[in-house]
Amino acid sequence: MSESKHFYELFQPSHYDVFIDINRQNKTIKGTSTITGDAKENKIAIHQKYLKVSSVEANGKVVNFSLDNANEAIQIELFQTGQTVIKIDYTAPLTDTMMGIYPSYFQINGEKKQLIGTQFETTAARQAFPCVDEPEAKATFSLAIKFDEQPGETIIANMPENHVENGVHYFDETLRMSTYLVAFAFGEMQNKQTTTKSGVKIGVFATKAHQAKELDFALDIAKRSIEFYEDFYQTPYPLPHSWQLALPDFSAGAMENWGLVTYREAYLLLDPDNTSLSTKQQAATVIAHELAHQWFGDLVTMKWWDDLWLNESFANMMEYVCIDAIEPDWHIWELFQISEAPAALQRDAIDGVQSVHVQVEDPAEIDSIFDSAIVYAKGARLLVMVRSLLGDDALRSGLKQYFDAHKYHNATGTNLWSALGDASGLDVGKIMNSWLEQPGYPVVSASVIDGQLTISQKQFFVGNGNDIGRKWQIPLNSNYNAAPKIFTEEKMVLGNYKELRKSAGIPFRLNVGNNSHFIVNYDDQLLNDILDEDNKLDSISQLQILQDLRLLAEGKQISYAKIVPLLPRFAKSNSQIVSATMYRIADKLEEFLVPDSPEEKYFKTFINRLSFDQVKRLGWQPKDNETIDDQLMRPGVLNASLYAKNPQTITDAHQIYTNQLSDLSKISAAIRPLVLMSEMDNYGSAELFEQFFKLYQKTSDASYKTALQLAITSTKDSALITKIIDEFKNADVIKPQDLRGWFRNVLNNPKGEQAAWGWLRDNWQWLEDTVGGDMEFTTYITVVASIFHTSKRLKEFKEFFEPKINTPGLTREIKMDLNLIDSKVQLIESEKESVIEAIKTAR
Ligand SMILES: [Zn+2]
């Protein structure tokens, strides 16, 4: 059998009876998978991974089989083709990998407990039961689960339980669905439930380590999201319930299992009395994302993993469409502009990046295509571009048609474009193919040449790029009628600039609204014209100017020194997204400086000047009736002021700390991380460090935990840093799901960089064994590359990672990161002096 053949071509399951008996004490799984389906050939293959198979029967007769671990398969020889019932008995170990069926650990009053849950995407259903583990192999499932059950424990799954017999829990048969979306969980849980207008039961489930009120926010958002989607898609939610479950150990952010969505606790549970707005927004968008998938992904599923973007890009756009509709005051698209848009623009500028649509076969490669900046952020940005071309009416009617045509089945990108094309009359596929099939994006240069306003497109690179003359079909969204709606040429003259400027009465702009995936390089004349009227620009336009300039500087098309003098004027803005974008540039400038150098002092003075007036205006504590912008920008402004060592800001933080000494969790959540970090930084001691570490282990509030983690990792004491690193492999203190965050924070601390980097190199094998089967693994390399920017580190990075370049799933990441670090080293070397001069003289 050729390796590239999908198993579904050999055997097409229609129904599974799955019996699984799980024993937590012995850490074993014992099961029987009975699959009814249509055998297309005599020799078929069923997926398995890490399973011990004891017998295989087909239509009641024992048949020959062999385990083929290289292909994660059981090879089976049938007596005949056609309708066949295959029964497979197996056992497997229950392991702590956060994949397949796995335990999550938590404590109640010091007593250790377990909650068993599942994570099957992308290819881990085969670790739980033998199956044709491919998205196209949709079937119905009847689950029967037994476990070493204790009083007070409950079990939930995709569908409602229908009866219990001899300790076995039987669940209603599912609708036709893909294996990677099957889910169940059991243990001691609390839950809260409500019902949508259309009668769908909504529930939130969590361990009893949490306060009951922590479930309320998610319950409300989940209910209103399902109601929103039923209306927006004009397609009913097809299952009787939608359960949301928080798992204490969870590798990804959340997982859209049909009817039983699983989450990291941080994204589902929050204290309604003390949680920052930004944390609430994050949780709400994650919930809305997973619930968008219940239709887009679950009801209609991509045919194969190459169209993963169909699922993820779409859900990533819809999370904002949904939250914008149900919480309009949040202006959630602004969050899109400071998170998804820059993430996509940053990574997509590095040569060697994957395209959104990408060919993939090997399971290790499938996991590696879950690149959050590309498949999620860039894909969402492309769909936002489509949405603004089509308008919502055509989008909705196209989607309804798409769901009607493909529900309970699979689809490809082409199917979506044709549905949207029918609804809008536009050739959507033609425009989108240039964006989906090609990696990267263009920079559009706008200049006045011999009096003529001229635009041209060229691929934009940060670092070395091999320009092969790619061209895009660019929705220009210009404010001048002379510019075409879609720009397809390499170069175009729009007309006499003076005349165009006079008749328009406003400066020339491209990509108004920042919804198209390109950046603009205006010549000085055009840029100054825009900046002269910057008080007339809305906040997204201001953000866009800063963001494009930053990228152009990273791509060495302009100098960073040119941006520095612009920052003070944007520092006055009361928009949180302009403020966030400005401080992001300030963060980049820090890379030009050696820690504790005289230059760093100038820089701190500069940052203090940028933040001073806003600190005075905002203060530490929220004011009654303050704007959402003020709430959201306060932490960034205070953080800058603390970095600059503003004495008043430090004293104020210490005062807040002292006032709340009896219960630090009560400090307002938005400023809590800053107060604790400042305390550690300016008044820290070994005792304080120990105290924070204890609090970290005790609390079950994820946002408080994050604040403590930030404070602990900000210590400048190398003995204490060693203590942190000693806990990296201790899952009782630092959960594997949180390790990357800890690692990043220590690496990002100049006093911890050497130790964290040493730890990574010494423990690479351990990391591979622990999180290697998981899509998070490669992101450890991404984290390192995002921080390193010196020639010494580049050399060490090369020495360590180049020998690993052929590891499946790592190749692309290592190549891109070598290029990325190299580009930073070169940029800093060539511009260091002019940037420092600009900082010294900026007013
Ligand atoms: Zn998703």
**Measured between alpha carbons, how far is 424 from 762 in angstroms, rounded to an integer?**
56
Q: Which residue has the tokens 């950046």?
A: 519
Q: Please enumerate, by residue number, every residue annotated as part of a binding site.
A: 289, 293, 312
Q: Is the pLDDT reported for residue 525 higher than 60?
A: yes
Q: Which two tokens stand for residue 55?
A: 């017998």
> What's the first-to-final CA gap in the chain, in angstroms?
71
Do 442-538 and 302-436 fall under one CATH topology?
no
Phi, then psi, of 91 in degrees rounded to 5: -135, 160
The helix-helix angle for 736-748 and 702-712 (nearest 10°) equals: 40
> How is residue 378 annotated by DSSP?
I
What average pLDDT does this structure show over 687-700? 96
- pLDDT attached to residue 773: 62
Tell me the residue type at 502. K
Q: SS3 sequence, 536-578?
A: HCCHHHHHHHHHHHHHHHHCCCCCHHHHHHHHHHHHCCCCHHH
- pLDDT attached to residue 221: 98
For residue 338, the Cα-to-chain-centroid distance in whole angstroms is 14
- pLDDT attached to residue 809: 82
**Measured between alpha carbons, how far is 14 from 6 in angstroms, rounded to an integer?**
16
The total of other beta-carbon atoms located within 10 Å of residue 620's CB is 18
CA of 767 to the centre of ligand 1 (A): 25
The chain-wide mean pLDDT, for the chain, equals: 95
> How is residue 376 annotated by DSSP?
I
Q: Is the pLDDT reported for residue 754 higher than 50?
A: yes
Percent of the chain with pLDDT over 90: 93
The full set of domain ranges for the chain reads 1-188, 302-436, 442-538
Q: Is the pLDDT reported for residue 3 higher than 80?
A: no
Q: pLDDT category, 696, cuts 50, 70, 90?
A: very high
CA of 72 to the centre of ligand 1 (A): 25
* Catalytic site residue from 290, 334, 679, 813: 290
CA of 253 to the centre of ligand 1 (A): 9
Which helix (H) or strand (E) is 191 found in, with range?
A: strand 190-195
Which helix (H) or strand (E) is 47 found in, with range?
A: strand 43-47
Q: Which two tokens stand for residue 446?
A: 């706008």
Q: pLDDT category, 772, cuts 50, 70, 90?
A: low
Fold of 442-538: Immunoglobulin-like (2.60.40)
Q: Which residue has the tokens 């970290």?
A: 696
Tens digit of pLDDT for each residue in 105-131? 999 988 999 999 999 999 999 999 999
**Measured between alpha carbons, how far is 368 from 814 in angstroms, rounded to an integer?**
12
- pLDDT attached to residue 346: 97
Sign of the C-alpha dihedral computed for residues 388, 390, 396 and 400 taken in this order:
negative
- pLDDT attached to residue 4: 60
CA of 231 to the centre of ligand 1 (A): 20
Q: Is the pLDDT reported for residue 215 higher than 70?
A: yes
Q: Half-sphere exposure of residue 360, counting CA atoms within 13 Å on the CB side?
A: 24
Q: pLDDT category, 2, cuts 50, 70, 90?
A: very low
**Measured between alpha carbons, how far is 507 from 484 in angstroms, rounded to an integer?**
17
Tens digit of pLDDT for each residue in 824-842? 999 999 999 999 999 999 8
CA of 272 to the centre of ligand 1 (A): 25
Q: Is the pLDDT reported for residue 342 higher than 90?
A: yes
Tens digit of pLDDT for each residue in 169-205? 999 999 999 999 999 999 999 999 999 999 999 999 9
What average pLDDT does this structure show over 119-147? 97
CA of 315 to the centre of ligand 1 (A): 6
The answer to whether residues 603 and 842 touch, using CB atoms and an 8 Å cutoff, is no
Tens digit of pLDDT for each residue in 50-108? 999 999 999 999 999 999 999 999 999 999 999 999 999 999 999 998 999 999 999 99
- pLDDT attached to residue 366: 81
Tens digit of pLDDT for each residue in 386-422? 999 899 999 999 999 999 999 999 999 999 999 999 9
CB within 8 Å of 148: residues ≥ 6 apart: 22, 23, 24, 25
Tens digit of pLDDT for each residue in 590-642? 999 998 999 999 999 999 999 999 999 999 999 989 999 999 999 999 999 99
CA of 370 to the centre of ligand 1 (A): 10
CA of 201 to the centre of ligand 1 (A): 22
**Measured between alpha carbons, how far is 121 from 299 in angstroms, rounded to an integer?**
16
**Measured between alpha carbons, how far is 333 from 401 in angstroms, rounded to an integer?**
27
What average pLDDT does this structure show over 152-161? 98
489 is catalytic: no
Tens digit of pLDDT for each residue in 631-655? 999 999 999 999 999 999 999 999 9
Q: Please enumerate, by residue number, every residue annotated as part of a binding site for Zn(2+).
A: 289, 293, 312
Q: Is the pLDDT reported for residue 368 higher than 80?
A: no
What 3-state class would DSSP assign to 54? strand
Number of DSSP helices (H) and strands (E) in the chain, helices first: 30, 28
Q: Is the pLDDT reported for residue 495 higher than 60?
A: yes
> Which class for 325: exposed (0-12), middle (13-18), buried (19 or more C-beta within 10 A)?
middle
302-436: CATH, from 3.40.50.2000, 2.40.50.140, 3.40.350.10, 1.10.390.10: 1.10.390.10
The answer to whether residues 494 and 509 touch, using CB atoms and an 8 Å cutoff, is no
CA of 314 to the centre of ligand 1 (A): 8
Fold of 1-188: Immunoglobulin-like (2.60.40)
CA of 578 to the centre of ligand 1 (A): 28
